């Protein structure tokens, strides 16, 4: 499908940045609004101070009392990578600070749904916890928190999701997105919030003489930054300066071999080299393998992989997670083929598609519909909701959106105008979930399409690739690729550099059954440039053609030798 290549505008004059920075880096940073060189400083000292996070005094009182009294503590997390890392980090940190009875519980998404529900509280009650801590969830769990407190549990909510009009009546809440919270960064992932709470608790215990009195070594909580980096990248939160510090510090520990064995094992399972790990490796190799457990089975497998200190156990668990991820891919591929087939059966070409797409099959897997919606959204450049049967005559949908449509607000508009049509919903700008009666799907489809059409025009329904312009001929080097690789960490709202240009396709062949290997020659280059386009085996033959491509510089490693390679995100004839 045709896409538009749009070059990023420079937000500042590159000359404002230090002259000793290479010109290509000054241009890249200027396009991302880096006006102050301090924004490039990723030393741990540059982190926002924990005491600026609201809600800490009450939270620390609960935690200190629980430790002093030897209370039973139970951590309840979400079933994604952020929830898994938050749970593992909190359990590890509390044990390091002397907690004798601390465990975790993660809801099975198919049995209990999202967050701290009354049903999961009933399961938690079997462990007789005195203090229940939610991580990466809880801010919308009104009934669950009430149920826990009714059973005599103290409840500490730590979360980063946007709160609703009503807050749960927990004993303490820590969330930088609460109204009036003074924490400058609103983009912490759940694992980031958990880390800040644990750092603040260590400071409280240090001031009270806890470690000396109990014969404990004061823990180095920087040792947990590998978990913070993984959860932050996997949850695709914006990488503002504070998050970039957290991620970079975690990556340094991973590259130095000072991370939990589970992360090393998962990197190996994904074919990545831990010694050269970057944010992209966490997002595309480790995160999906963790998420596969929550999507298909039980996230406890992922949490155990992050909790073990035994490298052999970690390797065994990572292999199981890798197998689950392979199964998830097969399920997803089948679902995608069915979805595309159903669209073709309806004789809908690109111009005839609804502006808001809904797809459903009663045999689809609930845990994979979010990925399916995301894939179709990327392919057709419009909001998509994929539905799966949930039993009792209901279906659950997972929605993914595009720029210009706040998908949660869109669902709220539908719910407001048609009371009772949507049983329940929640989410944010780019992703949401909802439940419908199966019999209401056709009605919902028409209403959803009409609502989305109010926000998008025909011109909006084309994919856009933002690039950093053309590279100078002298920048096509392995050194430039390494420079850009190490200049991050790159991620959401701080995107990895992408360039564009025109090239002649000298050669083209398929590798690995799914990828196109290209030999390119630029206008000012005599030497052939290697390039690869992943998962694009269905593209037509471009041999001998003049093309415009959007690409990233990469270092290809083969048999111990490293060389420059362009990773092609998009190509078209010119």
Q: What is the pLDDT of residues 365-409, one digit of tens each?
A: 988 898 899 989 988 889 999 999 988 899 999 999 988 888 988
Report if residue 146 sits inside a domain.
yes
Q: What's the pLDDT tens digit per position in 15-30?
A: 999 999 999 999 999 9
Work out the pLDDT band at 295, boundaries 50, 70, 90: confident
Work out the pLDDT band at 457, boundaries 50, 70, 90: confident
- What is the share, in percent, of the chain residues with pLDDT greater than 90? 72
Report if residue 500 sits inside a domain.
yes
Burial label, 113 (beta-carbon count in 10 A; 0-12, 13-18, 19+): middle
Give the structural domain span for 444: 348-456
Work out the pLDDT band at 425, boundaries 50, 70, 90: confident
In this prediction, residues 227-235 reach a mean pLDDT of: 96
- 361 lies in the same domain as 448: yes
In this prediction, residues 487-497 reach a mean pLDDT of: 94
Report if residue 192 sits inside a domain.
yes
pLDDT at site 222:
96
In this prediction, residues 131-157 reach a mean pLDDT of: 96
Q: What's the pLDDT tens digit per position in 175-215?
A: 999 999 999 999 999 999 999 999 999 999 999 999 999 99
Helix extents (H) in 78-129: 81-96, 109-112, 118-125
Work out the pLDDT band at 338, boundaries 50, 70, 90: confident
Report if residue 331 sits inside a domain.
no
Work out the pLDDT band at 128, boundaries 50, 70, 90: very high
pLDDT(347) > 70: no
How many Cβ atoms are within 10 Å of 66's Cβ, its own excluded?
Answer: 22
Report if residue 167 sits inside a domain.
yes
Cβ(359)–Cβ(372) under 8 Å? yes
Assign residue 56 the CATH number of its domain.
3.90.1640.30
Cα(295)–Cα(292) distance, integer angstroms: 5
Listing DSSP states for 112-124 in one string gives: H-SSS-HHHHHHH
In this prediction, residues 484-504 reach a mean pLDDT of: 95
- 451 lies in the same domain as 479: no
pLDDT(111) > 80: no
pLDDT(345) > 70: no
- 452 lies in the same domain as 489: no
Cβ(387)–Cβ(359) under 8 Å? yes
Assign residue 527 the CATH number of its domain.
2.40.50.460
User: How many structural domains compose the chain?
Assistant: 3
Work out the pLDDT band at 130, boundaries 50, 70, 90: very high
pLDDT(350) > 50: no
Compute φ and ψ for 465, nearest 5 degrees.
-110, 120
- 268 lies in the same domain as 364: no
Q: Which residue, of 321, 338, 362, is where some domain finishes?
A: 321
Closest CA to 79 of 133, 36, 51, 115: 115
Q: What's the pLDDT tens digit per position in 66-100?
A: 999 999 999 999 888 999 999 999 999 999 999 99
pLDDT(349) > 80: no
pLDDT at site 344:
65
Report if residue 551 sits inside a domain.
yes
Work out the pLDDT band at 307, boundaries 50, 70, 90: very high
Q: Which residue, of 281, 306, 321, is where some domain finishes?
A: 321
- 417 lies in the same domain as 499: no
- 225 lies in the same domain as 155: yes
Work out the pLDDT band at 297, boundaries 50, 70, 90: confident
Report if residue 342 sits inside a domain.
no
Closest CA to 302 of 79, 132, 75: 79
Q: Which has more pLDDT, 336 or 500? A: 500
Closest CA to 302 of 294, 312, 310: 294
pLDDT at site 538:
65
In this prediction, residues 306-318 reach a mean pLDDT of: 98
- 126 lies in the same domain as 204: yes
pLDDT(449) > 60: yes
**What mean pLDDT, rounded, does the chain reach?**
92
Cα(415)–Cα(425) distance, integer angstroms: 9
How many Cβ atoms are within 10 Å of 438's Cβ, its own excluded?
Answer: 16
Report if residue 343 sits inside a domain.
no
pLDDT at site 443:
96
- 412 lies in the same domain as 316: no
- 416 lies in the same domain as 470: no
**Token pair of 315 as six digits:** 């390797």
- 259 lies in the same domain as 143: yes
Of 123-137, 315-329, 340-354, 406-420, give the lowest mean pLDDT range.
Answer: 340-354
Work out the pLDDT band at 12, boundaries 50, 70, 90: very high
Q: Which residue, of 321, 356, 379, is where some domain finishes?
A: 321
pLDDT at site 50:
96
- 235 lies in the same domain as 169: yes
pLDDT at site 340:
84
Of 51-65, 291-305, 490-504, give the lowest mean pLDDT range.
Answer: 291-305
pLDDT at site 543:
82
- Selection from 277-281, 457-461, 540-544 with the highest mean pLDDT: 277-281
- 194 lies in the same domain as 255: yes
pLDDT at site 542:
83
Global pTM reads: 0.90
Cβ(357)–Cβ(451) under 8 Å? no
Alpha-carbon torsion (448, 451, 457, 461), positive or negative: negative
Of 236-245, 249-258, 394-403, 423-432, give the lowest mean pLDDT range.
Answer: 423-432
Q: What's the pLDDT tens digit per position in 558-570?
A: 777 889 999 999 9
pLDDT at site 372:
92
Assign residue 425 the CATH number of its domain.
3.10.310.30
């Amino acid at each position: 499908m045709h896409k538009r290549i749009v070059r990023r505008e420079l937000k500042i004059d590159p000359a404002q940045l230090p002259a000793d920075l290479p010109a290509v880096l000054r241009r890249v940073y200027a396009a991302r609004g880096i006006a102050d060189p301090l924004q490039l400083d990723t030393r741990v000292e540059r982190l926002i101070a924990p005491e600026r996070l609201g809600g800490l005094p009450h939270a620390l009182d609960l935690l200190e009392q629980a430790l002093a009294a030897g209370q039973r503590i139970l951590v309840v997390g979400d079933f994604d990578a952020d929830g898994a890392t938050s749970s593992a980090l909190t359990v590890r940190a509390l044990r390091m600070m002397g907690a004798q009875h601390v465990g975790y519980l993660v809801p099975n998404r198919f049995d209990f749904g999202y967050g701290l529900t009354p049903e999961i509280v009933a399961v938690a009650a079997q462990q007789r916890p005195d203090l229940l801590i939610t991580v990466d969830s809880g801010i919308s769990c009104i009934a669950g928190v009430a149920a826990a407190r009714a059973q005599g549990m103290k409840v500490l909510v730590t979360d980063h999701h946007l709160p609703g009009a009503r807050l749960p009546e927990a004993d303490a809440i820590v969330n930088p997105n609460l109204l009036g919270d003074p924490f400058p960064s609103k983009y912490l992932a759940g694992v980031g919030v958990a880390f800040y709470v644990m750092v603040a608790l260590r400071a409280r215990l240090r001031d009270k003489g806890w470690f000396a009195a109990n014969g404990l070594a004061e823990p180095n909580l920087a040792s947990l930054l590998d978990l913070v980096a993984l959860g932050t990248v996997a949850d695709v939160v914006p990488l503002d300066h504070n998050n970039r510090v957290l991620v970079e510090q975690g990556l340094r520990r991973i590259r130095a071999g000072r991370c939990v064995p589970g992360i090393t094992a998962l990197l190996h399972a994904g074919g990545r080299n831990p010694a050269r790990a970057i944010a992209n490796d966490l997002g595309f190799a480790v995160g999906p393998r963790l998420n596969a457990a929550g999507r298909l089975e039980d996230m406890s497998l992922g949490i155990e992989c992050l909790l073990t200190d035994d490298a052999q156990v970690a390797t065994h668990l990572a292999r199981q997670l890798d197998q689950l991820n392979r199964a998830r891919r097969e399920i997803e591929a089948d679902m995608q083929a069915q979805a595309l087939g159903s669209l073709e059966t309806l004789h809908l070409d690109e111009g005839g598609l609804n502006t808001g797409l809904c797809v459903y099959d009663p045999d689809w897997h609930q845990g994979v519909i979010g990925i399916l919606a995301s894939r179709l959204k990327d392919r057709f450049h419009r909001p998509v909701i994929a539905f799966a049967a949930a039993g009792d005559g209901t279906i659950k949908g997972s929605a993914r959106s595009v720029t210009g449509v706040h998908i949660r607000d869109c669902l709220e508009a539908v719910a407001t105008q048609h009371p009772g049509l949507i049983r329940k919903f929640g989410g944010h700008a780019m992703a949401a979930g909802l439940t419908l009666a199966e019999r209401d799907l056709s009605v919902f489809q028409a209403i959803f399409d009409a609502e989305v059409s109010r926000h998008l025009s025909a011109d909006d329904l084309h994919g856009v690739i933002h690039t950093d312009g053309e590279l100078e001929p002298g920048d096509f080097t392995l050194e430039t690729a390494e420079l850009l690789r190490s200049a991050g960490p790159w991620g959401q709202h701080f995107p990895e550099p992408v360039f564009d240009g025109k090239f002649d396709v000298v050669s083209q062949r398929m590798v690995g059954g799914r990828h196109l290997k290209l030999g390119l020659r630029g206008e000012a280059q005599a030497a052939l440039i290697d390039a690869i386009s992943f998962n694009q085996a269905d593209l037509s033959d471009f041999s001998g053609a003049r093309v415009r491509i959007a690409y990233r510089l990469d270092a290809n490693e083969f048999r111990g030798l490293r060389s420059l390679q362009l990773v092609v995100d998009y190509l078209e004839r010119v």
